[in-house]
Structure 1
């Protein structure tokens, strides 16, 4: 029988947001792959593990070798379907060999914290990536949900959006450390954010002013 790669979303951080199915799979795993923080939180005795770092080809090679022995459980933050190792796994292994267990993404949690529906939102990532220019243009009723990093933060993103037709009084919500005890959500405007200290490594949600009137 061919062993499987089980890609498990572990949520935004706090184990309270880990789905019971995902927790059971991780607890029963004999081979675990994940970020160092995930391994520190969820690894257990007797498990063989591999940390995900900059050497993605090395991680994929480990998984290929380990599949000869057992199923491999790959833990990814948030949901596997949104900018995770799943893309690389799909390019490397047969789709039929991959099973995915969804997780709660930081974007989902950010929208939930604001009691804001996200079915019409444009979901983007500035986390080491560059969205298309067309994705940044303001349209009536626009809602953007964005992952950020240290270079692309609340200040730099505000400046860019204003250059694409967004208005200074459009709302920006800067969400950091979501799900943790020191979680912080700052409500501001694009005009204020462009002149303030940039905050990154989190989720930013931007709404046209009409959304909140």
Structure 2
């Protein structure tokens, strides 16, 4: 018998934004894997748990061992299909063993918060990744959504875009702590973004 590995998207953070089917899978799990915050929020007594850490191979090894005898549920923030653990799991396990439950990504929520469609936006992640500077080039009407990190924060990204030819008055939205009580969304120009305090882990949407 092949035991299932179910990858569950738990949304941007608040429990208000997790799908009922995802919550059902989590509650029924015998073995539950997820970030420390996710485990604190969703794990229940009697479940065997393991945190997702920077040591991804250790996490994979735990899942492999546990899935020899039981189904395993893996919680990932946002949507599993958008910069999550799913690619690493696909490299280790056959697709027949993987079940994926979607979730609301922070990128999706950022666009909904500012009330604009995102089907024509260019999406990229600068979270732990070096930017492809050619991909930052200005084009009139272009919309870009970006995941940020400590180095490529809102201030640094604004500087890079200005260097890439974006006008100083280009509208930008800095979306921080989405779905949480302390959620903040700042509407600024790129020039203003270079002068204000850097926001590190956020979604930044720029509208050319």
TM-score with structure 1 setting the length: 0.96
CA displacement, residues 164-184 of structure 1 (integer Å, 9 cap, x when unaligned) = 111100011000010011100
The structural deviation recorded for 1:195 is 2.2
Runs of 4+ in 1 over 6 A off after TM superposition: none
Alignment of 1:1-213 (within 5 A): 1-208=1-208
Which consecutive unaligned segments of at least 5 residues does structure 1 have?
Answer: 209-213
1:118 & 1:91 partners in 2: Cα distance? 29
- Match of 2:195, SS state, is coil
- Match of 2:99, SS state, is strand
Does the aligned pair in 2 maintain the 1:122–1:135 contact within 8 Å? no
In the alignment, which residue of structure 2 is the partner of 1:211?
A: none
- Match of 1:134, SS state, is helix
The structural deviation recorded for 1:130 is 2.1
- Match of 1:110, SS state, is helix
1:187 & 1:37 partners in 2: Cα distance? 29
The structural deviation recorded for 1:189 is 0.4
1:4 & 1:132 partners in 2: Cα distance? 37
The structural deviation recorded for 1:133 is 2.1
The structural deviation recorded for 1:162 is 0.8
1:119 & 1:133 partners in 2: Cα distance? 22
1:75 & 1:131 partners in 2: Cα distance? 27
- Match of 2:128, SS state, is coil
CA displacement, residues 46-102 of structure 1 (integer Å, 9 cap, x when unaligned) = 100110001110000000000111111000000001111001001111111111000
- Match of 1:194, SS state, is helix
CA RMSD of superposed structures (Å) = 0.8
TM-score with structure 2 setting the length: 0.98
CA displacement, residues 137-173 of structure 1 (integer Å, 9 cap, x when unaligned) = 1112111111111221111000001111111000110
Which consecutive unaligned segments of at least 5 residues does structure 2 have?
Answer: none
Does the aligned pair in 2 maintain the 1:155–1:197 contact within 8 Å? yes
Q: Aligned pair count?
A: 208
1:131 & 1:194 partners in 2: Cα distance? 18
